[in-house]
Amino acid sequence: MQETPLADYVIVGAGSAGCAIAYRLAEAGKSVVVVEFGGTDAGPFIQMPGALSYPMNMKRYDWGYRSEPEPHLGNRQLATPRGKVLGGSSSINGMVYVRGHARDYDTWAEMGAQGWAYADVLPYFKRMESWDHGGHGGDPDWRGKDGPLHVSRGTRTNPLVKAFVEAGAQAGYETTDDYNGEKQEGFGPFDATIHKGERWSAYKAYLKPAIATGKVTLVRGLARRVVMEDGRATGVEVERKGRTEVLRAGQEVILAASSINSPKLLMLSGIGPAAHLKEHGIPVVADRAGVGQNLQDHLELYIQQAATQPVSLFKYWNLFGKALVGAQWLFTRTGVGASNQFESTAFIRSRAGVEYPDIQFHFLPIAVRYDGQAAAEGHGFQAHVGPMRSKSRGAVTLRSSDPADDPKIVFNYMSHPDDWLDFRTCIRLTREIFAQEAFAPYRGHEIQPGAAVQSDDELDAFIREHAESAYHPCGTCRMGAADDPLAVVDPECRVIGVDGLRVADSSIFPQITNGNLNGPSILTGEKAADHILGRSPLPRENAQPWMHPDWQTAQR
């Protein structure tokens, strides 16, 4: 084994949280080594927002994980993309920016993550953001103005994008000018991590400037395990250029390797459910039953409608059209390629008695699959819709003790009966929105599920066959009180039962947040950095979020 020089901190994973931590530690004058297995984010497919379906399907940028056959979804194996590139999943995601609902964080605090209530995290959301509403309204008092992460809005020029918000209002729902501000509930414009027509990943926002300070060294290699000595993490064993070496940490090791790889690394290092570790011949350093458990995700369906007018993006869905969009973007960073095309969204409640939204819509002015497989029927539009707080829980476990082996991922999707009820509701509510007057000039037949699919059994069959992951896995190293036997880290992100080791990424979420997880993942890195540096957290902000006054008795 070769010993390499010390840094104060070794961070595993140059993803959303890891980049933010590296930036804040460097800013404080600390020396940092960041270990990342993936390579550069150079190349037009990552940088061009309109090309988002490419990088998440490219071996070069994606770990290529798949779930085990999912028993409640007809034994389908679902894709579980995770970024294997600088910037992690922030370099291959859909660039949608959602903070989550205020009540999500209050729930975390109630679940034992003290100091993570909404009043605690709001100042960090402001610190990380540089928000540009592009003249499209919004809630400046609730937003950040000079953080590293650029957040912007699309041009919203497509008539279908506006029709979606109008249809929501016609159906009796709230509208909101800024779902990341005071009021999440309702229909309104989407925020995106796009800056000057390019993807603004955590690598660009945080790691690139951190490396420029000279305080941060990037090491390309595969982290095999955390080196533990007498119950303390002292470094990381890394395989690179064909040999294994130990990168020593003077102060702490921080895992920010994703909700799939962080629990895997803990278990390979002897931290996890003792019986499972023994099964694989791994000596137990700390018996933590919660490692790899509590896996959560968002599932969604694509409800697709044909369009009777040529207003959708389908007009670009040919060689010439794509070349045109690509050329315009390449030379001017404008046009269709400069947007992720998710420009309208909605957060609604599924029924009366639900306190805050539990359904999210992503509206898209084309009928297409996430992997970029084109619309079968020409012009159309679609809403991605799914429940926000599924009661189903899965697990990430080791396939073997070999660090090069993929872990076993079982989401256990749709294992709770309420999920079926919620999904049927999602389909019926979407159909009702598409049936509103605002869509009348454009509305053709329903492509998917299709008008004939109506009964509970028919809808369930459609869900079983067509539900897709929204790619929001989290929860596998749950944060909680230090005496909680199922918690993996305490509220300062320290791994319970060992010293010198923290986990800070989406794996520590006690419960999944509303919407897309990139924002909350970066937040985790921002807040963890203050804990690592031993600083007092930013002062709490007791801003009161909007709650539907009649939530107990009304669905909208």
User: Residue 136 — φ and ψ, nearest 5°?
Assistant: -100, 50
Distance CA 125, CA 525 (A): 11
Structural domain contains residue 112: no
Distance CA 526, CA 477 (A): 18
Structural domain contains residue 555: no
Mean pLDDT of the chain, nearest integer: 96
Q: What is the pLDDT of residues 168-217, one digit of tens each?
A: 999 999 999 999 999 999 999 999 999 999 999 999 999 999 999 999 99
Above 80 in pLDDT, residue 430?
yes
**Which of 124, 96, 98, 101 shows the shortest CA–CA distance to 182?**
101
Q: What is the pLDDT of residues 229-283, one digit of tens each?
A: 999 999 999 999 999 999 999 999 999 999 999 999 999 999 999 999 999 999 9
Q: How many CB atoms lie within 10 A of CB 196?
A: 11
According to DSSP, residue 298 is labeled -
Structural domain contains residue 33: no
Q: What is the pLDDT of residues 393-402, one digit of tens each?
A: 999 999 999 9
Q: How many CA atoms lie within 13 A of 419 on its CB side?
A: 22
CATH code, domain with 401: 3.30.560.10
Residue 377 pLDDT grade (very low, low, confident, very high; cuts 50, 70, 90): confident
The token duo for 234 is: 């002292």
Structural domain contains residue 162: yes
The token duo for 368 is: 């297409």
85 carries a ligand binding annotation: yes
Give the model's pLDDT for residue 261. 98
Above 80 in pLDDT, residue 379?
yes
Find out whether 105 and 123 touch, Cβ atoms under 8 Å. Answer: no
Give the model's pLDDT for residue 201. 98
Q: How many CB atoms lie within 10 A of CB 74?
A: 11
96 carries a ligand binding annotation: yes
The token duo for 367 is: 């009928």
Question: What average pLDDT does range 107-124 have in this prediction?
Answer: 98
Which stretch of DSSP H or E encloses residue 130?
Answer: strand 129-132
Residue 407 pLDDT grade (very low, low, confident, very high; cuts 50, 70, 90): very high
Structural domain contains residue 232: no
Above 90 in pLDDT, residue 374?
no
Domain count, the chain: 1
Above 90 in pLDDT, residue 370?
no
Structural domain contains residue 396: yes
Give the model's pLDDT for residue 134. 76
Neighbouring-strand partners of residue 236: 226, 247
Distance CA 61, CA 427 (A): 33
Residue 133 pLDDT grade (very low, low, confident, very high; cuts 50, 70, 90): confident
State pTM to two decimals.
Answer: 0.97
Q: By CB neighbour count within 10 A (0-12 exposed, 13-18 middle, 19+ buried), where does 321 fall?
A: middle
Give the model's pLDDT for residue 369. 73
Find out whether 508 and 488 touch, Cβ atoms under 8 Å. Answer: yes
Above 80 in pLDDT, residue 3?
no
Give the model's pLDDT for residue 373. 65
95 carries a ligand binding annotation: yes
**Which of 108, 181, 180, 154 shows the shortest CA–CA distance to 365?**
154
Q: Among 365-369, 389-393, 436-440, 538-542, which is the least confidently predicted range? A: 365-369
Structural domain contains residue 283: no
User: Residue 187 — φ and ψ, nearest 5°?
Assistant: -100, 140
Please indicate whether residue 136 is annotated as part of the active site: no
Structural domain contains residue 185: yes
Domain that holds residue 146: 71-77+133-194+296-469
Question: What average pLDDT does range 294-317 have in this prediction?
Answer: 95
Q: What is the pLDDT of residues 71-95, one digit of tens each?
A: 999 999 999 999 999 999 999 999 9
Could you tell me which residues come within 8 angstroms of residue 212 by beta carbon, excluding any fewer than 6 positions away?
none
Q: What is the pLDDT of residues 449-486, one digit of tens each?
A: 999 999 999 999 999 999 999 999 999 999 999 999 99
Given 72, 362, 384, 472, the catalytic residue: 472
Could you tell me which residues come within 8 angstroms of residue 110 by beta carbon, excluding any fewer than 6 positions away?
none
414 carries a ligand binding annotation: no
Helices (H) and strands (E) in the chain, counts: 13, 25
Above 80 in pLDDT, residue 4?
no
